[in-house]
Structure 1
């Protein structure tokens, strides 16, 4: 992969973001005609100075909409940015217009281009260093990027990172072998469709606390394709073999693995998407200086947990950053 991106090819103008006042966005032009979208938070009292910027990397069936995360991070003096990766959220239309499918890529290494472009744009804003804050699939992507770009990443924070599939070892092995074969011969074959209970528990329209665009984050997610799951499994294999991330790492998880469907109260107080035990088992494999924090009563996306779990998560992350950066 090419290290870096051509800034001359990057749209340079910031415009008001869909989140409205206080948020701005710019398009990142990527090799091959793809696009990602960089969002920045511009608080009324100005950006932080002297502390490394934080770049949020969302998960699967996801995009950046968590205003309160930006406000909390900036409130501690860290400039806040978020990226909507290619094929996600603000970047979906550009991807599907060229024949791609929402949220689907067949090579996780493509996201090095997205994050390189984001890192260069953030540096051009006058900031030094880079804290990556990755959730779920974004946690996997951010971990692999920190391993590939040790000179760029100051610290790595992982919110319920996707380090393995749920299920027994035999089930995971069978799925993996199947998607490796299908990923080569029929990468667009749909192999799974996520359930809707977790999404419904989150969204205001179905009794949840959060308002976001259901075109970009539908309750039932997007159809999972073989080619995408195959590259995810290759990423999991890299984690299992061990990375060599040199910067400090914080892995945050819920205290409990929940069922993948059920009542909203259960969906929001456990990790109803991934297996917490897998995160704990693989966290030490990410780097040489890894801390693990367990958030009691946390949801899969810890920052969307009900109070007091989400305040505990935010305080844990920001206190850790204060101590390590």
Structure 2
């Protein structure tokens, strides 16, 4: 696996208007083996006074997800930080190229390949002149981001994790059974469907169903989404790797809701068990801060206003003190 993009790739694929409208731009990130990711930036934040912002934040989304959070970009920009986000290969803005190449949307055989996507994004951000890079991962992105930072010392200067997916949200016997099932099946039949991601959480968040958010249901599905054996095998292997300890040498902030549940999608984490996250978080390194957001949703940035604002204040305050 390539550890950095070819320098020639840094000069290709110009910025273009983004689907989020005015002030947001996107560009294609060419990757090895003709794969593609997409980098998004909040343009007013990059060089607000004619010089690059000192700190750049790179957001990494979760599974069956993409970046559609302009309010988060604006909050970080108001604190003086440049804001970028990456749609990983097969997700959101990067969906079409991945599917056209014959791959399953939102999934890869080994999530370690996402290191290439983050390498390319980080290289482009560093080339813009920012001195410090903070990677902000949500859910599956919260698993990918610290593993990448550990494997690439010096690429990130801090890590922020929003409800990271450290542990499969099942009782221990079911987690063991799932690990045994996909250990072999993921090798011999990686496209076999082993479960489905139910759409209840996404439906509750969408404005068509009483939520606040107008995301694209073609990219964040409103129907059960098939989970394939190869992808799940790599997730479980990555979770075990993280639980053994990463020894990150940069400051880490882990944020969760105050509780988990099954049906209060707007005010609890109905996707992950917050106690699992808190138990594993110390394995990330020696400088790990834990913060709890009362009434937070799974994606804390999509919580109701009071919890959402508390989350953004917590991130901004921690960045100001730590980076």
Pairwise same-fold verdict (TM > 0.5): yes
Write the mapping of 1:236-275 to structure 2, written as runs, cut at 5 A. 236-259=239-262, 262=263, 266-275=264-273
| Other-structure match for 2:3 | 3
Alignment partner of 1:140: what SS? helix
| Alpha-carbon displacement from aligned partner over 1:7-44 (angstroms, at most 9, x marks no partner) | 31353310111111000000000000100000000128
- Do the aligned residues in 1 keep the contact of 2:25 with 2:41 (CA within 8 Å)? yes
Q: 1:283 aligns with which of 281, 284, 287?
A: 281
2:276 and 2:73 map into 1 onto residues whose CA distance is: 28
1:282 and 1:8 map into 2 onto residues whose CA distance is: 40
2:155 and 2:132 map into 1 onto residues whose CA distance is: 7
2:18 equivalent to 1:17: yes
- For the aligned residue pairs, the C-alpha RMSD in angstroms reads 1.3
- Do the aligned residues in 2 keep the contact of 1:156 with 1:249 (CA within 8 Å)? yes
- Do the aligned residues in 1 keep the contact of 2:2 with 2:32 (CA within 8 Å)? no
Q: Which runs of 5+ in 2 are unaligned?
A: none
2:242 and 2:25 map into 1 onto residues whose CA distance is: 34
Q: 1:317 aligns with which of 304, 315, 318?
A: 315
2:185 and 2:301 map into 1 onto residues whose CA distance is: 35
Write the mapping of 1:220-235 to structure 2, written as runs, cut at 5 A. 220=223, 222-235=225-238
1:46 and 1:140 map into 2 onto residues whose CA distance is: 30
| Other-structure match for 2:43 | 42
Alignment partner of 1:315: what SS? helix
1:98 and 1:221 map into 2 onto residues whose CA distance is: 23
Write the mapping of 1:26-37 to structure 2, written as runs, cut at 5 A. 26-37=27-38
Structure-1-length-normalised TM-score: 0.96
- Do the aligned residues in 2 keep the contact of 1:198 with 1:219 (CA within 8 Å)? no
2:59 equivalent to 1:61: no
2:80 equivalent to 1:82: no
Q: CA deviation at 1:194?
A: 1.7
Q: 2:301 aligns with which of 300, 303, 314?
A: 303
Alignment partner of 2:137: what SS? strand
Q: CA deviation at 1:50?
A: 4.7
- Do the aligned residues in 2 keep the contact of 1:61 with 1:221 (CA within 8 Å)? no
Write the mapping of 1:185-196 to structure 2, written as runs, cut at 5 A. 185-196=188-199
1:79 and 1:221 map into 2 onto residues whose CA distance is: 35
Structure-2-length-normalised TM-score: 0.96
